[in-house]
Chain A
Amino acid sequence: MSSTTTAVEIADAVQAGTTSASDVLETHLARIAEREGDIHAFNTVTADQARKQAASIDERVAAGEDVGPLAGVPIALKDNMCTSGIATTCSSKMLEGWEPPYDATVVERLAAAGAISVGKTNLDEFAMGSSTENSAFGVTHNPLDLERVPGGSSGGSAAAVAAGFAPLAIGSDTGGSIRQPAALCGVVGVKPSYGTVSRYGLIAFASSLDQIGPFSTTVTDSALLFQTMAGHDPRDSTSIPQPAPDVMSGLDNGVAGMRVGVITELMGEGELTGFEPEVIAQTRAAADALAAAGATVDEVSVPSTIFGLSAYYQIAPAEASSNLARYDGVRYGHREDGGANTAAMMRASRTAGFGPEVKRRIMLGTYALSAGYFDAFYGKAQRVRTLIINDFAAAYENFDVLLSPTSPCVAFPIGAKSDPLTMYLNDTCTIPSNLSGQPAISVPFGTGADDLPVGVQVLAPMLGEAAMFTVARALEVAASQNTGETS
């Protein structure tokens, strides 16, 4: 079985009985055994549970059952999704060894669809970071160049797919944490519309921005995974009360007649700088490819996107400061004695349990919400958010989808961006979609500096996943034609 075998191919073969879930699993476990030592994509590999699941799938196939759209497909789960009885750590010393008593909704849905979880992937602690260097359990290495980061915060999931450890993975995207590592690892990554995939069981970073989404090697696999996870969940009050949309049937419709807008502010010529020229060049090439495929392509200004980063670093830390308050050493997680009293115990536990980036964001957020500063910081950031939503709405009056780079740069060397502000700038292009709640996908499109992959981002209006996937699929076809691959 080749390393490019897709989820769709595996599921078809397993359901048809031409291959077994157990064989598929062993192939992937063998790859993990071979390269995981160098890459460190996982915090936990759940080989035993996976083997049991695979055997059960095979039995059910043998019994003639329909085992679901992801029959026997190995999948890697970011280690901030709760898995019953399996350690769920957020790559934090604070939750080291913590085993949830329940499964996240997405974990339930994946199991029901026949997918087989192979393990929990590394991340920046509590999903705060863009390189997976902020993990309490060690750095994840980019499978394409082990000296470089895989991006983050879902770096372990991106690396797992890029390394062929699993054809599918799920991550969470709060400011670009799926799309940016997908771009840096040369795979597909999707941030769905806010509210389409249940957050129940996703350990919160910033509740109004967090969204679970797929990683895969192909656009079709991501579309299938998204469709499998999406749909209303009554346990999440922010879940949109609609069934999962059909994003598969129109995937190959092509882009003829579609209107594609290239976001002026994210092309490196305005106030936002730091874009690598090769990244800009590939994004323009992607726009040209769409035009060649029959789309109308033009530039469009979305002016307030330049304030996205500033607004994000008020809102996300503010929500995080509250979401992460519960890690106090009282009920679960890391506890330090602390001495005198409960307050001292809490202080000591939090001081020892959280890493520096988490502490930095808790402090930023606590400040932003303080009495007397609320309006100037959190309040103003929410108004910027409204501006961004309005600007996107204006752009979508004339365009069906928008285009931009996913990340300003290709994968950078481990340790290269030790200054937090430099690191934060990685998310310039991805943050606006989290603030607006709208979907976006990163598709590999050619290479940039040092022959490393470049990701191009396709943005769509709220619940516009079908158009987004269709355009992404067209880019995938164009990219493969450029390199002579078949797709």
Chain B
Amino acid sequence: MTDVDQPVSSTMLSSWDVASDVAREDSHLPDGWEMVIGLEVHAELATETKMFSPAKNHFGAEPNTNVHPVCLGLPGTLPVVNGKAVELSIRLGLALNCHVQRCVFARKNYFYPDMPKDYQISQYDRPLNINGWLELASGHRIGIERAHMEEDTGKSTHVGESGRIHDAGYSLVDYNRAGVPLLEIVSHPDIRGPEEAKEYVAELQRIMIAVGASDGKFEEGSLRVDANVSVRPSGSDELRTRCEIKNVNSLRSLGRAIQYEAQRHVDLYLAGDKPVQETRHWDEEGGRTRAGRSKEQAEDYRYFPDPDLVPVDPSQEWIDEIRASLPVLPRERRQALVDAGGSAENAALAVERDLDGLALAAIEAGAEPERTLTHVANNLAVDGADELNAGNFAELVKLETGGGLTATQAKTVLADMVETGRAPADIAAELGFEAMDTSELEGMLDQIIADNPDEWGRFCEGEAKLQGFFTGQIMKATKGQADGKVIAQLLAQKSSA
């Protein structure tokens, strides 16, 4: 059995102590308090058609054009499970180290005009994916309780002065989104601060894109996050009353909403009061959460197994096939670069730009790792960078670290390489980039010292900021052709002589 086949219980996940450490750095609560955050992430699956209907699953169409009798819930219609949606759900589940099991669709009953059947087909006590985890860059593993399939609702537009439902003159409903397949990924309350929450969502987003399960776009609503927030005395393991924050439309909003809500809870406790369990909505402009409906008054969803559907029981062969087809995940790709000698920060950027393969190949061809990654991080956020020849890229880095090109020259040559695909040596020769002779530089420096005796004296006495002055003078004299590192060496030599 592999790791994934064995359900990972929360007690087997990383220790709570790690989480507390993170919290101290991350959250800004009064001393003695920590945040307890669980996230529910809804990802729209990148299928051609909807979860149970042959209608198209495409964002941005004219209202009510991507519809079919089934997703409109017309009388007599029946749902049929989209196999691609199941496959993508398993892909993401496996990438999140979940156990994939026989699952049952259930009806969640409540009345709402944007839901054509006035029930939502979801999964309740038998979700597809359970007991997974996601590891953050810090090494902290966030437990994943479940990742279950469900159908999306339509979209209501309330037409009125404020755009809010209570004073709308009328409402328009667009059912293009109704029935779009979703995977709802529910984390354990393992997250300890707004930054960690953002990092979790960002990493989840990278994973769902990497495995092709979802395009993960906040701005198109294909990625949506609800945050369950509570607080407790630091180090305690109790779970206090939580509030569910909805309407969070970006990573930045997520962080702000969590920080606001946690502070609100602490304030209530400090005032001798306590929060009530409820759904709250993030008000981006006001920078605050507002009470929605209280959970005590919330409807009873009357879940029961959907009699129109049969259980989905993925075979071990299918699961194995999907697992074998998974790409290398972002975490492993970053690790590969770090293992090759890069910094974590630049490794993350390289993976983000999907240039880690290029960087790794260049490093393997002998290029200095961090110099390679610095170019990827700073100079390759351009179209065509992914087509760069790794051997040429390695040559460029070698020319630079060998002193044959200055950093500035290397940048110019690199831009030309992306543009033309030519070899770095050819470009450098054509542009007349040749490393300055050290003795030539020395002569120039002597002249500059002679022209600026005061500054030189102060520099020799330790006024370090004057290094910039002398470097600048030399660069000016050489029209930027000098190598900064060589200048630094010369200055160090002469001042200590």
Residues of A participating in the B interface, judged by any CB pair closer than 8 Å? 80-82, 88, 90, 95, 98, 100-102, 104, 199-204, 206-208, 234-238, 318-319, 321-322, 325-326, 328, 330-332, 342-343, 346, 366, 369-371, 374, 378
Contact = CB atoms under 8 A, between A and B. Distances in A.
Given A330-B173, A371-B302, A237 B75 contact: no
Contacts of A235: 78, 80
Contacts of B173: 330
B229 to A, nearest CB: 24
B304 A318 contact: yes
Contacts of B300: 370-371
Contacts of B117: 325-326
A204 B76 contact: yes
B77 to A, nearest CB: 7
Interface stretch (B17-25, B105-113, B137-145, B278-286): B105-113
A465 to B, nearest CB: 21
B119 interface: yes
B79 A326 contact: no
Contacts of A330: 113, 173
B338 interface: no
Contact of A346 (B73, B80, B107, B111): B111
A234 B81 CA distance: 11
B310 A238 contact: yes
B326 interface: no
B309 interface: yes
A326 B111 CA distance: 8
A378 B73 CA distance: 24
Nearest to B73: A326
10 contacts: A98-B75, A104-B76, A234-B80, A237-B78, A237-B308, A238-B309, A322-B109, A342-B171, A370-B300, A371-B300
B396 to A, nearest CB: 57
B391 interface: no
Nearest to B81: A237
Contact of B80 (A88, A237, A322): A237
Interface string B60-74: 000000000100111
Contacts of B116: 326, 331
A203 B76 contact: yes
B32 interface: no
A326 B112 CA distance: 10
Interface in B212-265: none
Interface in B275-309: 300, 302-304, 307-309
A88 B75 contact: yes
A100 B76 contact: yes
Interface in B110-124: 111, 113, 116-119
Contact of B78 (A81, A199, A331): A199
Nearest to A367: B302
Contact of B111 (A200, A343, A370): A343
A200 B76 contact: yes
B109 A101 contact: no
A366 B79 CA distance: 22
B109 A328 contact: no
A237 B74 CA distance: 17
B452 to A, nearest CB: 80
B67 to A, nearest CB: 11
Nearest to B304: A369
Interface residues of B, number: 29
B304 A100 contact: no
B79 A325 contact: no
Nearest to A342: B113
Contact of A100 (B74, B109, B119, B309): B74
B111 A325 contact: yes
Contacts of A346: 111, 113
A342 B165 CA distance: 10
A238 B119 CA distance: 19
A82 to B, nearest CB: 4
Main secondary structure of the interface of B (DSSP, over half): loop
B77 A200 contact: yes
B215 to A, nearest CB: 28
Which 7 A-B pairs have CB atoms at the shortest separation, nearest pair first?
Answer: A325-B118, A369-B302, A208-B307, A207-B307, A82-B76, A203-B75, A201-B76
A328 B78 contact: no
A328 B111 CA distance: 8
Contact of B75 (A238, A326, A366): A326
Given A208-B307, A325-B119, A370-B302, A331 B72 contact: yes
B111 A237 contact: no
Given A235-B78, A342-B171, A326 B308 contact: no
Contacts of A98: 75
A271 B35 CA distance: 62
A326 B114 CA distance: 11
B76 A325 contact: no
A147 B78 CA distance: 39
Interface in B74-96: 74-81
Contacts of A100: 69, 74-76
Given A102-B69, A369-B109, A207 B308 contact: yes
Contacts of B80: 234-237
B119 A200 contact: no
Contact of A328 (B77, B79, B118, B308): B118
B308 A238 contact: yes
A378 B69 contact: no
Contacts of A237: 78-81, 308-310
B76 A378 contact: no
Contacts of A343: 111
A322 B302 contact: yes
Nearest to A207: B307
Interface string B307-327: 111100000000000000000
B76 A374 contact: no
A322 B76 contact: no
Contacts of B77: 200-201
B150 to A, nearest CB: 16
Contact of A82 (B75, B171, B302, B307): B75
B164 to A, nearest CB: 12
B482 to A, nearest CB: 73
A282 B119 CA distance: 47
Contacts of A104: 76
Nearest to B113: A330
B40 to A, nearest CB: 20
B51 to A, nearest CB: 12
Nearest to A346: B111
A322 B74 CA distance: 14
Nearest to B158: A342
B315 to A, nearest CB: 16
Contacts of B303: 369
A101 B302 contact: no
Nearest to A233: B78
A340 to B, nearest CB: 10
Contact of B119 (A206, A322, A342): A322
Contacts of A369: 109, 302-304
A194 to B, nearest CB: 10
Contacts of A204: 75-76, 308
B78 A325 contact: no
A332 B69 CA distance: 12
Contacts of B113: 328, 330, 342, 346
A389 to B, nearest CB: 15
A99 to B, nearest CB: 11
A203 B73 CA distance: 11
Interface string B19-54: 000000000000000000000000000000000000
A127 to B, nearest CB: 12
A128 B303 CA distance: 23
Contacts of B111: 325, 328, 343, 346
